[in-house]
Amino acid sequence: MRKIPVDRIRNIGFMAHIDAGKTTTTERILFYTGKTYKMGEVHDGTAVMDWMDQEQERGITITSAATSCSWDDYRINIIDTPGHVDFTAEVERALRVLDGAIIIMCGVGGVEPQTEKVWHQASKYKIPRIAFINKLDRPGSDYSDVINQIEEKFAVKTLLLQLPLGTEENFSGIIDLVSQKTYKYYEDAEGEIAFDIIDIPDEYREEAEMHRDNLIEKLSDFDLELMELFLEKKPVPEEKITKAVRNACLSLKAVPVVMGSAFKKKGIQLLLDAIVDYLPSPEDQPDVIGNSPTNDRQVTRKLSDDVPFSALIFKIMSDHFVGQLVYFRVYSGVMKVGSMVFNSSKGEKIRISRLLRMHSNKREDVDQVYSGDIAATVGLGGVSTGDTICDPNNQVVFDAITFPDPVISSTIEPKLTADHKKLDGILKKLSSEDPTFKVFTNHETGQQIISGMGELHLEVLRERIKREFNVQTRLGKPRVAYHETIAEESSGENRYIRQVGGRGHYGHVALRVAPISTNGKFAFYSKVKTSVIPKEFHGAVEAGVREAMDNGIIAGYPIINVEVTLIDGSFDAEESSEIAYQIAASMAFRDAFRKGKPILLEPLMKIEILVQDEYVGEVISDFSAREGKIVKMDIKNNLHIIDGLVPLSSMFGYATAFRTLTQGRANYSMEFYDNVAMPEKKMNDVLRNELGIYTSNQEVINE
């Protein structure tokens, strides 16, 4: 029997912009729930959740860490995610398996670029969330300004549940608008932060009553009973407000807002109360829908211990002590040690030899896990992030997790020739852990190429190779992950006829290729009758097109943003074969692509710069010299906030240059925005300098 009922489980994640206080908040929660006896600090490198050496040295979260704790007889499973955009895959896979999220915002910085990113990621997965306004003890903090930013940038209703007692350095407590009590913090005899629960001070009573009335008025839009009490000006009980806030949060109609200072240990207990009061349990979520692996029939899995087992693998990582750790979320049924499960994504049976409940990089053995749980296992060879594991006799495949494509690449080689084979295995292992880290070999040069989400991403991986696997490597100069596409519609045709070993091969296709604007997408359609080309060969035609797209046409970069239509062709009843249609389609696509005014696409990055007045001129001048375009400028708390767009190719080495220009006092953050067409002159320069190809007036040299 399960020890904790499923309605008392909360699977949540902490998400935010870098340096908003996610890891510090998690450390405080682990202390106050009794999970740790001493609070770790990010700046001291002692945070439990930042267990990697690099995390402790750099003061940032690199890999999402999972833990669980108890509060008021509730189990809270927590995933602390990175805030740096280079590690966005960690956020994406966490959101895929979480039920609720805490979006942490700095009381000074407010809604920052990565805040927007994780907010929209949470919206994509329909994750209910609470906003926690942190760092209210900092000079320049302003909770009302942060709330205005949330409402303006995300077009959502906010439910303000608390008010600060004092501002900035005088922040000393929290007024709870639901219970109408004040939590007044002080330092006890042992030097620990404690609090007294008191009535709302007289000087704050009028403001608190006004905000409580506003809260009830907002909630009355979602709750008829509350509306009647509000209109009749009757007292509204605390439990009715709590229920209405929970319903509004779970239905994604509004976002509860709480506040505090994690570093100063204020507001953490109230945040824990908000997590159990307002965020969903696994049973509050709708049934999970997948497909049968045998016939594509839709399959529904209900959250219950009494139905067939199913789970989704969301993270894989290496562990020196137990080998490969596989994290999964159980959506239905029970998994026991020794049981046999089926990897329906790969079509393989697996025996479960060990089950673990994780606490950062420490682990606790358990005999079984239940529906709604997040757990880990070891010894599952051949699995990938996004695979479904299930009951062998009741198979289901859930939608896999999608990840962004890499935007930067570099050559890598071991410093010692003897380490070549070892490095191959290491890179394969790291790419299986991180879906945004890609490895391939340039067959012309024999060099290994690694691709990732940014310079920091590749540098962190290189450092991991050195520390965890004891292999020294050299990285080449970073290169941008360009893409190819066409600017005009065109068509191509190819007839493939060969005699191989006495057997004939015949394939004949005509294709129309057109550009589409949807970033990174590809669409394939067929408009030929089965009498022209039988249906069984259409898949081979699409496979031939995809093969050509993967390898590129003008420069070897992957092709995106095209729509391909099979418009004509023919077949031979005796000699047509799939391989012939695949080759014919690949060659027809190449022909059409060259006629369609090929262009290169480059990654355009969105950047936000926060800079002091004395450096703003030099920063703008340098930014403009890097082909940057300023979209918006603002001033807040004596800082210039510059929003802009800039090609990634211009930003290599920017961190060092920016630090020099601003004497290390300013900050910036950058994330992928879009793939955009490269100017013709720049495209010619790229082809000539990087590939030894020269083009003029869009005339692409044939292979």
What is the structure's pLDDT at 85? 61
How far apart, in whole angstroms, are the C-alpha atoms of residue 368 and residue 390? 15
Among residues 564, 554, 544, the alpha carbon closest in space to that of 601 is found at 554
In terms of Cβ atoms closer than 10 Å to its own Cβ (0-12, 13-18, 19+), residue 174 is buried
With cut-offs at 50, 70 and 90, classify the pLDDT of residue 335: very high
Could you say which DSSP state residue 213 is in?
Answer: H
How far apart, in whole angstroms, are the C-alpha atoms of residue 19 and residue 667? 11
Same domain, 559 and 432: no
Report residue 72 as tokens: 């008021």
Does residue 699 sit within a domain? no
How many Cα atoms sit within 13 Å of 664 on the Cβ side? 0
If you average pLDDT over every residue of the chain, what do you get?
86
What is the structure's pLDDT at 666? 81
- Give yes or no for a contact between 638 and 612, defined as CB atoms under 8 angstroms apart: yes
Q: Please compute the mean of the pLDDT values over residues 621-632 and round it to a whole number.
A: 94
Does residue 10 sit within a domain? yes
Whether residue 531 has pLDDT greater than 50: yes
645/655: higher pLDDT = 645
With cut-offs at 50, 70 and 90, classify the pLDDT of residue 45: very low
What is the structure's pLDDT at 84? 60
Whether residue 40 has pLDDT greater than 50: no
Report residue 348 as tokens: 């393989």
**Radius of gyration (Cα) for the chain, nearest Å?**
28
How far apart, in whole angstroms, are the C-alpha atoms of residue 170 and residue 256? 24
How far apart, in whole angstroms, are the C-alpha atoms of residue 337 and residue 323? 17
Same domain, 123 and 219: yes
Same domain, 442 and 572: no
Report the CATH number that the domain containing residue 548 is assigned in CATH: 3.30.230.10
Same domain, 317 and 347: yes
Q: Please compute the mean of the pLDDT values over residues 625-649 and round it to a whole number.
A: 89
With cut-offs at 50, 70 and 90, classify the pLDDT of residue 433: confident
What is the structure's pLDDT at 361? 54
With cut-offs at 50, 70 and 90, classify the pLDDT of residue 638: confident
Report the CATH number that the domain containing residue 280 is assigned in CATH: 3.40.50.300
How far apart, in whole angstroms, are the C-alpha atoms of residue 442 and residue 451? 13
Does residue 696 sit within a domain? no
With cut-offs at 50, 70 and 90, classify the pLDDT of residue 318: confident
Same domain, 455 and 354: no
Among residues 71, 80, 69, 65, the alpha carbon closest in space to that of 24 is found at 80
Domain span at 32:
6-284
Q: Please compute the mean of the pLDDT values over residues 603-632 and round it to a whole number.
A: 92
Q: Please compute the mean of the pLDDT values over residues 55-77 and round it to a whole number.
A: 69
Q: What is the pLDDT of residues 247-277, one digit of tens each?
A: 999 999 999 999 999 999 999 999 999 999 9
Query: Which helix (H) or strand (E) element contains residue 474?
Result: strand 473-475
Listed in sequence order, the residues at least 6 apart from 296 whose beta carbon sits closer than 8 Å to its beta carbon are none
How far apart, in whole angstroms, are the C-alpha atoms of residue 665 and residue 160? 33
Listed in sequence order, the residues at least 6 apart from 548 whose beta carbon sits closer than 8 Å to its beta carbon are 559, 585, 586, 589, 590, 593
With cut-offs at 50, 70 and 90, classify the pLDDT of residue 64: low
- Give yes or no for a contact between 495 and 97, defined as CB atoms under 8 angstroms apart: no
Does residue 702 sit within a domain? no
What is the structure's pLDDT at 115? 84
In terms of Cβ atoms closer than 10 Å to its own Cβ (0-12, 13-18, 19+), residue 83 is buried
Same domain, 159 and 190: yes
Among residues 151, 116, 143, 144, the alpha carbon closest in space to that of 260 is found at 143
Does residue 506 sit within a domain? yes
What is the structure's pLDDT at 696? 43
Name the percent of the chain lying above pLDDT 70: 90
Does residue 20 sit within a domain? yes
- Give yes or no for a contact between 588 and 509, defined as CB atoms under 8 angstroms apart: yes
Among residues 149, 141, 131, 147, the alpha carbon closest in space to that of 107 is found at 141
Report residue 569 as tokens: 């062709």
| Domain final residue pick, 239, 255, 284 | 284
What is the structure's pLDDT at 660? 84
2/331: higher pLDDT = 331
Report residue 327 as tokens: 């994290």
**Which backbone phi and psi does 581 adopt, to 5 degrees?**
-70, -35
What is the structure's pLDDT at 330? 94
Report the CATH number that the domain containing residue 459 is assigned in CATH: 3.30.70.870
Name the percent of the chain lying above pLDDT 90: 47
What is the structure's pLDDT at 669? 78
- What does the angle CA 693 – CA 697 – CA 703 come to, to the nearest 5 degrees? 35
Our count of domains for the chain comes to 5
Among residues 389, 356, 384, 354, the alpha carbon closest in space to that of 67 is found at 356
Least confident of 71-75, 576-580, 667-671: 667-671
| Domain final residue pick, 479, 514, 530 | 479
Same domain, 581 and 618: no
What is the structure's pLDDT at 697? 38
Whether residue 54 has pLDDT greater than 50: no
With cut-offs at 50, 70 and 90, classify the pLDDT of residue 698: very low
Length of the chain, in residues:
703
Same domain, 561 and 658: no
Same domain, 383 and 414: no
How far apart, in whole angstroms, are the C-alpha atoms of residue 161 and residue 179? 10
Same domain, 563 and 504: yes
What is the structure's pLDDT at 695? 44
Does residue 403 sit within a domain? no
Among residues 355, 318, 339, 313, the alpha carbon closest in space to that of 96 is found at 313
Among residues 35, 57, 39, 36, the alpha carbon closest in space to that of 47 is found at 39
| Domain final residue pick, 479, 499, 534 | 479
Measured CA to CA in angstroms, residue 168 lies from 135, 219, 269, 297 at distances of: 9, 30, 20, 58
For the packed helices 455-469 and 420-433, what is the interaxial angle rounded to 10 degrees?
120
Among residues 79, 163, 162, 161, the alpha carbon closest in space to that of 127 is found at 79
pTM of the model: 0.70
Q: What is the pLDDT of residues 162-221, one digit of tens each?
A: 999 999 999 999 999 999 999 999 988 887 889 999 999 999 999 999 999 999 999 998
Cα torsion 177, 179, 181, 185: sign: negative
Does residue 400 sit within a domain? no
Q: What is the pLDDT of residues 67-123, one digit of tens each?
A: 888 898 999 988 877 656 666 677 777 888 899 999 999 999 898 877 887 888 888
CA 90 to chain CA centroid, Å, is 5
Whether residue 50 has pLDDT greater than 50: no
Same domain, 374 and 518: no
Report the CATH number that the domain containing residue 325 is assigned in CATH: 2.40.30.10
Whether residue 680 has pLDDT greater than 80: yes
Same domain, 280 and 429: no
Measured CA to CA in angstroms, residue 323 lies from 317, 377, 379, 381, 517 at distances of: 8, 10, 7, 10, 44
Least confident of 126-140, 442-456, 477-491, 688-702: 688-702
Q: What is the pLDDT of residues 269-309, one digit of tens each?
A: 999 999 999 999 999 988 999 999 888 789 999 999 999 99
- Within a 10 A sphere around the Cβ of 349, how many other Cβ atoms? 10
What is the structure's pLDDT at 42? 47
- Give yes or no for a contact between 370 and 301, defined as CB atoms under 8 angstroms apart: no
- Give yes or no for a contact between 257 and 273, defined as CB atoms under 8 angstroms apart: no
Q: What is the DSSP string of 114-183?
A: HHHHHHHHHHHTT--EEEEEE-TTSTT--HHHHHHHHHHHH--EEEE-EEEES-GGG--EEEETTTTEEE
Beta bridge partners of 299: 290
Q: Please compute the mean of the pLDDT values over residues 579-606 and round it to a whole number.
A: 94
What is the structure's pLDDT at 520? 65
- Reduced to 3 states, what is the DSSP secondary structure of residue 381? coil
Among residues 137, 132, 276, 131, the alpha carbon closest in space to that of 193 is found at 137
